Amino acid sequence: MNEIIELILHTDDALLSLVSENVNKAYLVLFLIIMLETGIILFPFLPGDGLLFSAGVIAATTNLNILALWPLLLLAAITGNLLNYFIGNMLGTGLRQSRNRFIQKSLKPLERTEMYYLRHGNKALVIGRFFPVIRTFIPFFAGVVKMPFKLFFNYTVLGALLWITLFLFLGYFLGGIAWVKNNYGLIFLCLIIITFLPFLITLIRRLFVGKKS
């Protein structure tokens, strides 16, 4: 648990220290962070993009094996989405069967959400992978509205494959460059800002539209 907290607060230094101490433990901690970030709606704050990039950079310069890391993190991302989907599915079933008036009123917006997932769920699962926070909630609501599992699974795998491969190997191939090795703390911060920007812009737009209306 201490390792996870350190990775949240000091991602690059903590990961490097963990790899130097025990590389097998590093594999386990990385697996858990990626799985929890995508698998439990209580953990949207866990690092994702930056962690993958840092793991790739460190794999280029240490005994952290990129060929073992890639399928492991791919499995973590897929497993996380599946876990989140089934949690949403179970909770959604319980909420829909509830006779509580407040809960039934609260479920009305789910009809629109369900229509959205039927029309655009495949795009949301793939594109949503590249946005922090959003990627944690998309599989949960896919389960709540009972998105067809086969469709969910196929696009979960595709989204995970694109997300893990892009950030992990981007870090790996850039990791040999001296400037990147000396500044990947700054790069990590920039990645967080860049991936959060579309989410913040959308939020600001909706706030302004809401005020005008």
pLDDT tens digits, 142-194: 888 888 899 999 999 999 999 999 999 988 988 666 666 666 566 656 666 66
Question: 30: pLDDT confidence band, cut at 50, 70 and 90?
Answer: very high
Range of the domain at 157: 2-212
What percentage of the chain exceeds 90 in pLDDT? 26
Angle at the Cα of 147 from the Cα atoms of 143 and 148, rounded to 5 degrees: 120
Structural domains in the chain (count): 1
Could you give the C-alpha distances from 49 to 53, 119, 184, in angstroms and in order? 6, 27, 13
C-alpha to C-alpha distance for 194 and 142, rounded to whole angstroms: 26
Single pTM value for the model:
0.78
State the residue for tokens 């655009």.
Answer: 120
Q: Which sign does the torsion angle of CA 113, 115, 121, 127 carry?
A: negative
How does pLDDT run across 84-125, given as a tens digit for each residue? 999 988 887 776 666 666 555 655 555 566 666 767 778 888
Burial grade of 72 (CB within 10 A; 0-12, 13-18, 19 or more): middle
